[in-house]
Amino acid sequence: MVEVEIKIQVDKEMWTIVKERVQKIGGQVIIEKEEHDIYFNSPSKDFIESDEALRIRKDVEGVRLTYKGPKIDKETKTRDEVEITINSFEKGIELLERLGFTPVRPVVKNRTIFRLEDIYISLDYIEELGYFIELEKKSEEKDVSRAITELKNIITVLNLNDYPWIRESYLELLIEKDRKKRPISR
């Protein structure tokens, strides 16, 4: 199973408008929550270079350990994903650190998730980054292009065609922002 995902950054005003539009087209709120993610890097390879991700997420729904493989197309954030539920955020972190994985950076987000049939629309506010819309659909690898077409149709309905898609993860965007903030040493 792969996760087909399109991400768009918007300002607060457009984020509010999209929220209203999603409700008008029948999107049902699944949950509103705060997510705390810690991303890890592998002791044997650099996940940024290999375009992979490993994270532990804690929210009101519990704690999950997720591995995301490299992006599999040039247009979206479509990736193979493996996720398991664990019972302790702290013990999960401890286990990964004992295995040699190093924490990279936390990502904190406020997220409202809507469901529109089998498509999930997340309205996210990321601390330090701002407002984003994520459209996601789970798909068999052979059906990725059909899933992308379905997500593009929703983007059109939500009047978001003029907004560029972002292929970087929130972690990548935060790392880039941190890099730009660092003073240049001479």
pLDDT digits (tens, 9 = 90+) for 156-169: 999 999 999 999 99
Please, which pLDDT band fits residue 139 given cuts at 50, 70 and 90?
confident
DSSP-based three-state secondary structure for 23: helix
**Per-residue confidence (pLDDT) for residue 90, from 0 to 100:** 98
Find the mean pLDDT for residues 129-154. 92
Express each pLDDT in 96-124 by its tens digit: 999 999 999 999 999 999 999 999 999 99
Please, which pLDDT band fits residue 140 given cuts at 50, 70 and 90?
confident
Express each pLDDT in 3-13 by its tens digit: 999 999 999 99
Contact indicator for 3, 82 with CB cutoff of 8 Å: no
pLDDT > 70: what percent of the chain?
98
Question: What residue ranges do the domains of the chain occupy?
Answer: 2-179
Catalytic residues: 39
Mean pLDDT of the chain: 94
Asked whether residue 186 carries a pLDDT value surpassing 60, the answer given is: no
The count of residues in the chain is: 186
* Cα-based distances in Å from 144 to 68, 78, 133, 135, 140: 16, 8, 20, 14, 7
Q: Looking at the chain, which runs of residues are DSSP E strands?
A: 2-10, 28-41, 53-59, 62-71, 79-86, 102-116, 119-126, 130-139
Express each pLDDT in 68-104 by its tens digit: 999 998 889 999 999 999 999 999 999 999 999 999 9
Domain covering 2-179 assigned CATH 2.40.320.10 in the classification: yes
Please indicate whether residue 4 or residue 181 has the higher confidence score (pLDDT).
Answer: 4
Please, which pLDDT band fits residue 185 given cuts at 50, 70 and 90?
low
